[in-house]
C-alpha cells in the first residue's frame, strides 16, 4: 500500500512567512505536520519551543542570550533615605564562590513562544535571577554592598533578546519548509513521509541546534510578575566557569545573517 502524501505544508509555509501570524500558531501547524509524518523528534522540538523548558532542564544554545548582570541595593545606614538602587556589575566583581556557579553575562530563556510574544507586546523588560541567587546574597552583600544590603542579583534582559529567540525559531521553520520543497519534484502538491524525514535529518531538529530534547512536554514554566519586569529563579547548575559553559551567547549578528539568507532564498524562489 502506498503511503499517502501529508497535507499541511502550504498552511505552515504561509504561517512562517507572514510576520503578522503568531509564531505559536505556526508551531501548532508544524506539530500537526510532524504528527501526520510520525516524526517524534520534530514534535519534541516544537513542543519545547511552544511550551517552554522546565526548571532544571538545559536549554538550547540559541536560548542563551546576552544579558546585563545587575544588583539592586537598599541603603541601610542610619539617617540615609531608604530606596532601591540598581547598578550594573561585571561578573569579575562577584565573589569567587559565586563565579564558580557559572554566572556570566548571558541568561537562559525558558519561556514558551506565546509567553515571549506576550512580554514583547506589553513592552516589559526582564529580570531573571541566576541559579540559587537567594542562597548567596549575603556573600554578594559583603563583597559589593558597601554598607547597603543587596536585595537582588539578576540579569537584565532586553526584549530584543526575546525577539532574537523568536526569529531563530521562525527561521528554523522556514528552512524546514524550504528543504521539504527542495525534495519535492515539480507538480507534487504535498510531501510524503520520506521527504519530511529527509528535511528533519538535514536540519537536525533534536534541539534546533543539535541539542537533545526530551519528548515529554514540560509541566512547569517560568512565570513573570505583574510589575514592569518579569522574574524567574533558575536551578543551580553544575559549577563551571561561565566562559567555558557549553551554552554560549547567541549572537545577534549571526542571527541577522541567517535571517537575511532566508529572505534572499525566498525572494529568489518567488
**For residue 270, pLDDT beyond 60:** no
Cell triple for 172: 528554523
Closest CA to 155 of 220, 96, 255, 234: 234
pLDDT single digits (tens) 207-234: 445 444 333 333 333 333 333 344 444 4
Residues 6+ apart with CB under 8 A from 87: 70, 71, 73
**Averaged pLDDT of the chain:** 75
- Pair 70, 88: CB distance under 8 Å: yes
Residue 3 has pLDDT above 70, yes or no: no
pLDDT the model gives residue 231: 43
Strands (E), 101-143: 106-108, 125-128
Tell me the pLDDT tens digit for each residue of 132-169: 777 777 888 777 777 778 888 889 999 999 999 999 99
Amino acid at each position: 500500500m502506498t503511503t499517502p502524501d501529508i497535507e499541511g505544508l502550504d498552511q505552515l509555509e504561509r504561517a512562517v512567512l507572514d510576520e503578522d501570524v503568531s509564531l505559536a500558531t505556526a508551531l501548532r501547524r508544524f506539530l500537526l505536520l510532524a504528527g501526520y509524518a510520525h516524526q517524534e523528534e520534530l514534535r519534541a522540538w516544537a513542543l519545547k519551543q511552544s511550551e517552554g523548558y522546565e526548571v532544571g532542564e538545559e536549554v538550547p544554545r540559541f536560548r542563551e542570550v546576552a544579558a546585563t548582570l545587575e544588583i539592586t541595593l537598599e541603603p541601610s545606614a542610619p539617617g540615609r533615605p531608604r530606596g532601591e538602587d540598581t547598578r550594573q556589575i561585571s561578573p569579575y566583581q562577584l565573589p569567587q564562590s559565586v563565579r564558580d556557579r557559572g554566572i556570566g553575562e548571558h541568561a537562559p530563556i525558558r519561556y514558551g513562544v506565546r509567553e515571549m510574544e506576550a512580554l514583547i507586546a506589553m513592552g516589559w523588560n526582564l529580570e531573571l535571577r541566576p541559579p540559587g541567587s537567594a542562597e548567596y546574597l549575603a556573600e554578594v552583600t559583603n563583597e559589593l554592598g558597601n554598607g547597603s544590603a543587596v536585595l537582588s542579583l539578576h540579569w537584565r534582559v532586553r526584549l530584543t533578546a526575546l525577539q532574537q529567540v523568536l526569529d531563530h525559531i521562525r527561521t528554523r521553520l522556514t528552512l524546514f519548509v524550504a528543504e521539504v520543497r527542495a525534495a519535492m519534484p515539480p507538480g507534487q502538491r504535498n510531501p510524503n513521509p520520506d521527504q519530511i524525514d529527509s528535511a528533519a535529518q538535514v536540519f537536525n531538529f533534536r534541539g534546533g541546534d543539535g541539542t537533545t530534547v526530551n519528548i515529554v512536554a514540560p509541566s512547569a514554566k517560568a512565570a513573570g510578575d505583574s510589575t514592569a519586569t518579569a522574574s524567574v529563579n533558575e536551578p543551580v547548575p553544575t559549577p563551571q566557569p561561565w566562559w567555558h559553559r557549553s551554552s554560549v551567547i547567541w549572537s545577534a549578528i549571526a542571527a541577522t545573517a541567517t535571517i537575511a539568507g532566508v529572505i534572499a532564498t525566498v525572494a529568489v524562489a518567488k
